[in-house]
Amino acid sequence: MILEVKNVTKVFGGLTAVNDVSFDLEEGQILGLIGPNGAGKTTLFNCINGIYPLTKGSVIFRGQQLNGLPTYKVADLGLARTHQIVRPLNELTVRENVMVGACFGRKNMGLGQATEVADEVLAFVGLDKRAGLLANSLNVAQKKRLEMARALAAQPYLLLLDEVLAGLNPTEVTGMVDTIRKIREQGITIIMIEHIMHAVMNVSDRVIVLNYGTLIAEGTPAEVQGNQEVIEAYLGDPDLAERLLEEERG
């Protein structure tokens, strides 16, 4: 197991954002993490990579306890992530953004090697033509790619993707899904939070579903898609329920 999440609970004031969630992740897999808005998906990521201290439970990554480690330590161990709300280093160039990932991630590369890796990764996500521009000149879709490029440049064992498909048009979604598959082919394990059902169902080996912080279903995409509780959970989110139903129809 590359990652073991055991009874993770996160309470904000009176709100239990993540409630006693446990799951294991095998190396080389893509795990889809779905659930309605506010279900606690991003919070779960924040618990895994050390942004929030856990209220209860533990996270074990490649045999090592992550509890209480600062985020930079977690990055050093080979866990990289993207942010749902993009966080580009605005006044640095696109290439420099990616070099930060390469220089300070698992491999701790020097500047020379980091430059080469940055250029490779930028070509891989299709941002090579913008390498010299400031990051704040990118549009949102490009910034999502930049998030991904930075995480990849760290050459992590485990990659957490938080809604990298949101806000992309259908062509861009197809391109990104393709990219995600290629990343897995590199041997990188992935957890992806996603709202776009067909994409998540297509690409994931397994899917887990959060609702109000609780894990309500776990299984193959087909199993989860037929789960009554999951459909009901999404009915609380009319927009998503509609999309889900539409996808089932067509």
Partner 1 sequence: MSAQNNSGLQPPNTSAAPAPSRFRSGMMGRLLTPGLVVILVAIIAAMIYGATGGAARREAWYTVLLFVGLASSLNILLGYTGYVSFGHIVFFGFGGYIGFFAIYQLGWNLLPASLLGGAAAALLALGLGLAILRLRGAYFALATIGINEAMKALVINIPALGGPNGMVLNFGIYASYGGAAQAQWTVYWATAVLTLMVVLTSYIVKKSKFGLGLMAIREDEDAAEVMGVVAPRAKTWAYVISALFPGILGVLFFFKASNIEPAAAFNLNRSIELLVMVMLGGQGTVLGPILGAGGYQLLRTTLLTSDLALFGLKIKDIQLAVAGLLLLIIVLFIPVGFIGWLRSRSTRLRRWLE
Q: Which residues bind partner 1 (CB under 8 A)?
A: 27-28, 49, 51, 70-72, 75-76, 78, 80-81, 83, 87-92, 95-96, 99-101, 103-106, 108, 110-112, 114-117, 119-121, 123-124, 128, 150, 152-157, 182-183, 186-189
For residue 236, how many C-alpha atoms fall within 13 Å in the half-sphere facing its CB?
12
Q: Least Å distance between CB 182 and Mg ion?
A: 24
84 binds Mg ion (CB under 5 A): yes
Tell me which stretch binds ligand ADP (CB under 6 A): 10-18, 85-93, 116-124, 136-144.
10-18
Sequence letter at residue 97: N
- The sign one gets for the Cα dihedral 199, 195, 130, 71 is negative
CA distance readout (Å), 157 to 69, 94, 105, 169, 230: 17, 23, 11, 29, 30
40 binds, among partner 1, ligand ADP, Mg ion, none (CB under 5 to 8 A by kind): ligand ADP
Report which residue's Cβ sits closest to Mg ion.
42
37 binds, among ligand ADP, partner 1, Mg ion, none (CB under 5 to 8 A by kind): ligand ADP
32 binds ligand ADP (CB under 6 A): no
Question: How open is the CA angle 189-69-60, to the nearest 5 degrees?
Answer: 45
Please give the Cα distance from 75 to 159 (Å, whole number): 10
What is the chain's length?
250
Find where tokens 């930028």 sit.
122
Which residues here bind ligand ADP, judged by CB under 6 A?
12, 15, 17, 35, 37-43
Which residues here bind Mg ion, judged by CB under 5 A?
42, 84
